Amino acid sequence: MKDFLWHLNGIGRGTLLDLGPVYQSTVTFFGERGFRVYTEDLLTGWKRFLKEQDERELALDPTAERPSRAQIATEFLKTSLEHKPRSFDAVLVWTCSITWKTT
């Protein structure tokens, strides 16, 4: 975190995207430093996306070819992170683990 904050030094009133769940302490910390904070809970979105993917697959013909893990992840990122280039001065990504659900 110390290195992350060092890189933000001098930005002033910047914009920050937090890809974790919303924590008031994070919003307050960066807000007090002049940042406009946006949040997008990537892990919760991923879980929701996988559930929707499972529901779509159930509706398909059982003999239909299923997308690979890489295809599923690529589609998720395409539909989840639709921000214009240079929308944010910083992106905060805390360590988390994502497990793949296999069928």
| Domain boundaries of the chain, sorted by first residue | 2-92
Tokens of 79: 């539909």
- Cα–Cα distance between 76 and 101 in angstroms, integer? 14
Report the candidate in 48, 41, 32, 49 with the shortest Cα–Cα distance to residue 92.
41
Q: Mean pLDDT over residues 62-74, rounded? A: 84
Burial class (CB in 10 A: 0-12, 13-18, 19+), 6: exposed
The per-residue pLDDT for 103 is: 46
Single pTM value for the model: 0.72
Residue pair 16/91 in contact by the 8 Å Cβ criterion: yes
What's the mean per-residue pLDDT of the chain? 84
